[in-house]
């Protein structure tokens, strides 16, 4: 079963936000909304959606600033800007701050959906699953499940290997416990965020990941960030 793609709609106009949420829900996406730039930034970082639809003219934080902040915080998935016709839009600035595409209001939902699909497809191609990864004195092969630390074989459980593979794939990104639960444990109801912490602890121990230069960093109040080999 393929996982539902998660989209965050950041739009201050309630009517537009809600109709976009309804539309993408009907199309089979898992959709969340944010009414301000600050809320969008917070949700973007902690929930790490597969794509963000981001209105440019927002009260408080401007859409461009939201996008720039998302990128500096490590958000790497596509950002699609919404702009109103007649708005002073400098598309180059939009791409400079890390946006991937634009749709101008009023737009057709079908056009927006086509752009969203194209961005999601491109994003999937951009991040290939790696079969193996090495950093410092660690090398891991995700197909044979071999892990070597300082030249010695170390055994990981299947879940620990899956978790390592996921954080390696998303290295440099802040990953919340909720996202790890969803992506690595597939929302197993038996599992709580404590399980994530326990597995991270075990992984750190097995990787000989010790302070001060940890491979798996704790991001307080959010989750974890893997920085091995970066
Ligand atoms: Ca607006």
Q: What CATH code is carried by the domain that includes residue 98?
A: 3.40.50.2300
Question: In this predicted structure, which of 56-65, 66-75, 111-120, 183-192 has the lowest mean pLDDT?
Answer: 183-192
Same-domain pairing of 100 and 34: yes
Domain that holds residue 143: 132-226
Q: How far is the CA of 63 from the centre of ligand 1 (A)?
A: 9
Is a pLDDT exceeding 60 seen at residue 28? yes
Q: How far is the CA of 96 from the centre of ligand 1 (A)?
A: 20
* 86-97 residue pLDDT tens: 665 666 677 778
Q: How far is the CA of 127 from the centre of ligand 1 (A)?
A: 32
What is the structure's pLDDT at 1?
A: 38
Q: How far is the CA of 125 from the centre of ligand 1 (A)?
A: 31
Q: How far is the CA of 122 from the centre of ligand 1 (A)?
A: 27
Q: How far is the CA of 15 from the centre of ligand 1 (A)?
A: 11
**Is 19 among the domain residues?**
yes
Overall pTM > 0.85: no
Q: How far is the CA of 7 from the centre of ligand 1 (A)?
A: 18
**Is 1 among the domain residues?**
no
Query: How many folded domains does the chain comprise?
Result: 2
Same-domain pairing of 120 and 206: no
Q: How far apart are alpha carbons 117 and 221 in whole angstroms?
A: 32
Average pLDDT over residues 65-89: 86
At 55, the pLDDT band (50, 70, 90 cuts) reads: very high
* 29-40 residue pLDDT tens: 999 999 999 999
Q: How far apart are alpha carbons 206 and 216 in whole angstroms?
A: 12
At 128, the pLDDT band (50, 70, 90 cuts) reads: low
Q: How far is the CA of 5 from the centre of ligand 1 (A)?
A: 24
Same-domain pairing of 159 and 64: no
Same-domain pairing of 120 and 136: no
Same-domain pairing of 49 and 155: no
Percent of the chain with pLDDT over 70: 92
Q: How far is the CA of 66 from the centre of ligand 1 (A)?
A: 13
Please give the torsion angle defined by the CA atoms of residues 83, 78, 10 and 74, in that order, rounded to the nearest 10 degrees. Answer: -130
């Amino acid at each position: 079963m393929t996982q539902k793609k998660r989209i965050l709609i950041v739009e201050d106009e309630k009517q537009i936000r809600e109709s976009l949420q309804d539309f993408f829900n009907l199309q089979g996406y898992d959709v969340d909304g944010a009414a301000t730039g600050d809320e969008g930034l917070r949700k973007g970082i902690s929930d790490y959606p597969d794509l963000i639809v981001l209105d440019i003219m927002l009260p408080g934080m401007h859409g461009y600033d939201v996008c720039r902040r998302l990128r500096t915080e490590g958000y790497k998935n596509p950002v699609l800007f919404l702009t109103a016709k007649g708005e002073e839009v400098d598309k180059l600035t939009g791409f400079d701050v890390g946006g991937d595409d634009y749709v101008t209001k009023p737009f057709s939902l079908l056009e927006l959906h086509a752009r969203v699909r194209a961005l999601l497809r491109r994003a999937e191609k951009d991040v290939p699953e790696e079969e193996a990864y090495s950093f410092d004195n660690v090398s891991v092969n995700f197909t044979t499940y071999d892990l070597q630390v300082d030249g010695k074989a170390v055994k990981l459980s299947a879940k620990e290997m899956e978790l390592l593979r996921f954080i390696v794939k998303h290295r440099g990104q802040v990953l919340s416990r909720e996202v790890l639960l969803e992506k690595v444990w597939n929302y197993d109801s038996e599992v709580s965020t404590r399980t994530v912490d326990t597995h991270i602890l075990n992984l750190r121990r097995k990787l000989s990941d010790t302070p001060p230069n940890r491979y798996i960093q704790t991001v307080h109040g959010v989750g974890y960030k893997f920085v091995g080999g970066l």
